[in-house]
């Protein structure tokens, strides 16, 4: 039952990822990306990372995609250029396609990563208490650094998007 849900969500997210990458209209691309994120978040929930599933929807679907949509509307893009195949980028795409497809096929057919059935492995990402304990003991310094990074990003965005007058530049 849950397995078929997993496969359904996997197909769902792959289909909408293709839609996000190929669609002509930027708003459609952002919406397809949103649905792809919902699928991935469902897979997170199936892998028993409930906090991350909620955070993915909140941060990505709630903030990032909304920001994308704001920018698309702000820039007022009527149409977006479609695919290009020429020159160096065409060659790079062909080489990259070959490498990636051989890698995917190799993983799919000859993957020998042994994994225990999930019933035998403790779901350590399922409890919020474990997250709190890890974040405030082992990962305390990265947590502080990330907080500082968010502050710097906020200041950077303000500086980037402010229009400076001639006197302020001096």
Ranges within 19-78 binding another protein (CB under 8 A) = 20-21, 26, 29-30, 33, 36-37, 40, 43-44, 46-49, 51-52, 55-56, 59-60, 63-64, 67-68, 71-72, 74-75, 77
Nearer to another protein, 84 or 170 (CB): 84
Residue 65 makes CB contacts below 8 A (sequence gap 6+) with 30, 33, 34, 37
Contact 68, 45 (CB under 8 A): no
Q: Which residues 105-164 are close enough to bind another protein by CB under 8 A? A: 107-108, 111, 113, 115-119, 121-125, 130-131, 134-135, 138-139, 142, 146, 149-150, 152-154, 156-157, 160-161
Contact 61, 35 (CB under 8 A): no
Q: Which of 73, 102, 104, 128 binds another protein (CB under 8 A)?
A: 104
**How many C-beta atoms surround the C-beta of residue 145 within 10 A?**
11
Tell me the three state secondary structure of residue 22.
helix
Tokens of 59: 């941060």
CB of 165 to another protein, least distance (A): 15
CB of 169 to another protein, least distance (A): 15
């Amino acid at each position: 039952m849950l397995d078929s849900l997993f496969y359904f969500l996997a197909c769902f997210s792959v289909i909408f990822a293709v839609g996000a990458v190929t669609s002509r209209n930027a708003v459609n691309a952002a919406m397809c990306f949103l649905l792809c994120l919902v699928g991935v978040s469902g897979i997170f929930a199936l892998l028993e990372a409930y906090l991350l599933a909620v955070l993915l929807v909140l941060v990505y679907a709630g903030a990032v995609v909304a920001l994308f949509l704001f920018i698309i509307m702000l820039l007022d893009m009527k149409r977006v250029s479609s695919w290009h195949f020429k020159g160096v980028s065409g060659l790079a795409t062909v080489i990259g396609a070959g490498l990636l497809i051989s890698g995917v096929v190799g993983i799919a057919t000859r993957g020998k990563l042994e994994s225990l059935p999930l019933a035998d492995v403790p779901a350590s990402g399922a409890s919020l208490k474990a997250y709190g304990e890890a974040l405030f003991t082992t990962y305390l310094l990265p947590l502080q650094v990330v907080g500082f990074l968010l502050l710097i990003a906020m200041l950077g965005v303000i500086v980037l998007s402010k229009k400076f007058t001639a006197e302020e530049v001096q």
